[in-house]
Amino acid sequence: MMCADKMNNDKERAAFADPGFVARIQSRDEQALRAVVRAYLNQIFRAARGAGLNTEQAEDVTQNTFVTFIETAHRFEGRSHVRTWLFGILYRKIAEERRQAQREGRTDDILEIMEQRFKTDGYWLRPPREANLDLEDAEIRQLIEDCLQTTSTQQRLAFVMREVEGVESKEICNALDVSVTNLGVLLYRVRNRLRECLEKWGVKR
């Protein structure tokens, strides 16, 4: 099923990049806009939840994302793919909300944690421990959400876009407005943060 999904997605992605279709988006053609909604609603909703929102919050921010997209469709120039544009709107909405809730910008000490895992010669001081991560789906989701608490919206979305949606680096960079180097730093931090957390959890178990 994953494969069929991917093939459909690829075909759809190509069709949406067509200049004729971009022009229809710009002119706010209802059928075109509704096709975009139908095509990407699932991915945007999933990404919103992956970014740490509960179902209700994820619904709200997904709705806002598409409403903003439709209201500002005349500004869409087709320089990036319409999906990238949507992920960008989603990112800015979530970041804005988290800033207001003052949950953004907490100190991120993962670099320090990683540093302490290695000896000065660069080899492992405290190597990764074997962890049992054989979990039920609901447990995994809860655990990942808990583990992502201290990460930034940018880190989470980078992780979800890469790992869950399989989006290419260039598109992630465009949506999150970061350079390729920055994306590497974001992924490095969020993956290590998650690994540390899951390791702790899996060993304890």
Partner 1 sequence: MLKCNEVSQLIASGEAENLSWMKRMELRLHLMMCQHCRRYADQLKTLGSLARKAFESSAEDVAILTRLEEKIVQECFDHPSGKGNAG
**Closest distance between partner 1 and the C-beta of residue 142, in Å?**
9
Which residue lies nearer to partner 1 by CB, 99 or 128?
Answer: 128
Chain contacts with partner 1 (rule: CB under 8 A): 30, 33-34, 37-38, 41-42, 45-46, 49-50, 55, 59, 62-63, 66-68, 70-72, 114, 118, 121-124, 127-128, 130-131, 133, 135, 137, 140-141, 144, 159-160, 162-164, 169, 183-185, 187-188, 191-192, 194-195, 198-199
User: Residue 19 or residue 84: which is nearer to partner 1 going by CB?
Assistant: 84
**72 with 28: CB under 8 angstroms?**
no
Q: How far is the CB of 106 from partner 1 (least distance, A)?
A: 21
DSSP type of residue 72: T
Which structure tokens are listed for 128? 């990764």
Q: How far is the CB of 141 from partner 1 (least distance, A)?
A: 4
Nearer to partner 1, 10 or 42 (CB): 42
* Minimal distance, residue 182 CB to partner 1, in Å: 10
Q: Is 26 helix (H, G, I), strand (E, B) or coil?
A: helix
**In contact, 91 and 175? CB cutoff 8 Å:** yes
71: its two tokens: 């209201």
State the Cα–Cα distance between residues 40 and 55, nearest whole angstrom.
Answer: 17
Whether the Cβ atoms of residue 62 and residue 48 lie closer than 8 Å to each other: yes
Q: Give the helix ranges, DSSP H, for 72-132.
A: 82-100, 110-115
- Provide the total of helices (H) and of strands (E) in the chain, helices listed first: 10, 0
Q: Which is nearer to partner 1, 19 or 127 (CB)?
A: 127
Work out how close the CB of 104 gets to partner 1 at its nearest, in angstroms, rounded to a whole number. Answer: 19
Q: How far is CA 103 from CA 17, 63, 98, 152, in A?
A: 36, 22, 5, 9
**Closer to partner 1 at the Cβ: 19 or 129?**
129
- Collapsing DSSP states into helix, strand and coil, what is residue 19? helix
CB of 15 to partner 1, least distance (A): 19
Residue (1 or 19) nearer to partner 1, CB: 1
